[in-house]
Amino acid sequence: MGKKFLGALLSMAMVSMLMVGCGGGQPAATNTNAPEGDTAAAEETTSAGGDGDLITVGFSQVGAESDWRVANTQSMKESLSEANGFELIFADAQQKQENQIKAVRDFISQEVDVIVIAPVTETGWETVLGEAKDAEIPVIVVDRQLDVSDDSLYTCWVGSDFYQEGINAVDWLTKYMDGLGRGEEDLNVAVLQGTIGSSAEIGRTKGVRDELEKHSNYKIVAEQTGEFTQAKGQEVMESFLKSGEDIDILIAQNDNMAFGAIDALKAVGKDPGEDVVIVSFDAVKAAFDSMIAGDMNVSVECNPLHGPRVAELAKKIMNGEEVEKIQYVEEGVYPADTAAETLPSRAY
Ligand code: GYE
């Protein structure tokens, strides 16, 4: 089968990267002092703090909107445990920045040692971060980035290069369509975006657009947010289908929205993975099941296992050590033909 043959070629398409930089908000070119990529190994290093006192961490999490987020929360809770020398105050913002701002103010009044924020959106942080700075509480930003004019408002950030993920997705897609012999066809693309204004959405949208622009036969015919949830992904895909637009390719900015869209396609008698090529992000375990079932064609990895890195950063900061300002994590691209082989080794 063409698909299988192509799969063999594309198993070469594993893209991995590890970049570590300093300052600024953009991907940095330098690669010094890379953080431990092996999360299990990093976990080992998070032993209890020197004088036996626990480090109090207030963590404002986005919510529980996706499998990725659930895995991220679990990783953070496991690493910021008492056994590892932490007392964790966890606050779920239910995807609302106003809840995060309130949580950060609570952390400040509780005089925590370190504040950790996984921001819902990039903007609107100046005031509350200024309050944390005045209180001399270091802030670690995790996952999505912040867009602030003054970088000194937070100590460091660790997460993914979402723009690169968008590029990687389209790079895989165009090679895949070439392999199907459809690379020169006029191809209609629908995009399910994540939460508008989140860096995961901003980066993936721009990466996908920039890379698609290099191929004039690919046209984005529909683009709307599905808020990173399965239910909204399904609802928006239903509306795309109702509009009567012929869709060849769906790019869903996370797996959960792709799952919803796959259900919507099946409900109208379409065969996802064949009639509509499904490109997704995150590479959670359920995406591998979907790929094995032949519904999803590829998932671009976004690693949620930030707990060990954040624990290590918090300890270094508390010890007065310098830390890298910006740290990107290592990620791959997982096409359907490698899914069965890869699934047993997936950690989330
Ligand atoms: O892709 C999505 C989650 O910010 C990287 O948020 C994260 C994204 C992830 O809801 O599943």
**Residue 162 predicted with pLDDT over 60:** yes
Asked whether the beta carbons of 115 and 104 are under 8 A apart, the reply is yes
201 neighbors 193 (Cβ within 8 angstroms)? yes
How close are the terminal C-alpha atoms of the chain, in Å?
31
Distance from C-alpha of 23 to C-alpha of 260, rounded to nearest angstrom = 38
Query: Quick check: CB of 95 below 6 Å from ligand 1?
Result: no
Q: Are residues 69 and 184 in the same domain?
A: no
Element (H, E) at 223: strand 218-225
pLDDT of 119 > 50? The answer is yes
Q: Are residues 166 and 143 in the same domain?
A: no
When pLDDT is cut at 50, 70 and 90, the band that residue 52 belongs to is low
Same domain, 33 and 138: yes
Q: How high is the pLDDT of residue 1?
A: 34
316 and 204, same domain (yes or no): no
Q: Do 155 and 12 share a domain, yes or no?
A: yes
| Gap between the Cα atoms of 165 and 208, Å rounded | 8
Best residue among 60, 62, 66, 144 to mutate for probing ligand 1, ranked by most atoms within 8 Å of CB = 66
Q: In whole angstroms, what is the distance from residue 155 CA to residue 194 CA?
A: 26
Whether the pLDDT of residue 28 is over 50: the answer is no
Which domain does 215 fall in, by range? 162-302
Is residue 337 a part of any domain in this protein? no
- DSSP state letter for 64: S
Residue 210's domain is classified under what CATH number? 3.40.50.2300
Residue 267 lies in a domain: yes
Position 13 scores a pLDDT of: 38
Per-residue pLDDT averaged across 83-107, rounded?
Answer: 98
Q: Are residues 126 and 171 in the same domain?
A: no
Q: Please give the distance, rounded to the nearest whole angstrom, from the Cα atom of residue 1 to the centre of ligand 1.
A: 34
Q: Is residue 341 part of a domain?
A: no
Average pLDDT, the chain: 88
Report strand pairing: 277-282 vs 249-252. Answer: parallel
**Pocket lining: 163 vs ligand 1, CB cutoff 6 Å:** no
Residue 128 has pLDDT above 80, yes or no: yes
Could you report the per-residue pLDDT of 212-268, keeping only the tens digit for each?
999 999 999 999 999 999 999 999 999 999 999 999 999 999 999 999 999 999 999
- Give residue for tokens 């869209």: 261
Looking at residues 170-185, what average pLDDT do you find? 98
* 88 and 144 part of one domain: yes
Does residue 278 share a domain with residue 168? yes
Confidence band, pLDDT 50/70/90 cuts, at residue 330:
confident
Task: Examine the domain organization and report whether 121 and 213 are in the same domain.
Answer: no
User: Burial of 246 by CB count in 10 Å (0-12 exposed, 13-18 middle, 19+ buried)?
Assistant: exposed
Residue 248, pLDDT score:
98
Q: Report yes or no on 348 lying in a domain.
A: no
pLDDT at 33: 29
Residue 228 CA, ligand 1 centroid: distance in Å: 7
| One domain for residues 141 and 244 | no
| Residues 152 and 8 occupy one common structural domain | yes
Q: How far is Cα 32 from Cα 317, in angstroms, rounded to an integer?
A: 18
Residues 6+ apart with CB under 8 A from 113: 55, 56, 57, 137, 314, 318
In a domain, 19, yes or no: yes
Given this model, what pLDDT does residue 10 score? 39
176, 101, 187, 195: which is closest to 337 by C-alpha? 176
Is the pLDDT at 26 greater than 70? The verdict is: no
Report the pLDDT value the prediction gives residue 15, as an integer from 0 to 100. Answer: 34
* pLDDT value at 27 more than 80: no
Q: Region 308-313: what's the mean pLDDT?
A: 98
Does residue 122 form part of some domain? yes
Atom of ligand 1 nearest to the CA of 198: 4
319 plus 215 within the same structural domain: no
Q: Is the pLDDT of residue 187 over 70?
A: yes
Residue 273, in any domain of the structure: yes
- Distance (Å, whole) CA 74 – CA 71: 5
DSSP strand E in 100-201: where?
114-117, 139-142, 156-159, 187-193
Provide the token pair at 119. 């921001």
With the most atoms of ligand 1 within 8 angstroms of its CB, the residue from 143, 196, 255 to mutate is 143
The answer on pLDDT for 156 being more than 70 is: yes
Q: Which of 46-55, 74-83, 262-271, 296-305 has the lowest mean pLDDT?
A: 46-55
Rounded to two decimals, what is the model's pTM? Answer: 0.86
Q: Which atom number of ligand 1 is nearest to the Cα of residue 199?
A: 4
320 strand-pairing partners:
none
Residue 145 lies in a domain: yes
**Total domains present in the chain:** 2
Q: CB-hemisphere CA count at 13 Å for 50?
A: 4
Instruction: Classify residue 205 as exposed, middle or buried by CB count within 10 Å of its CB (0-12, 13-18, 19+).
Output: buried
Whole-number Å distance between alpha carbons of 190 and 26: 27
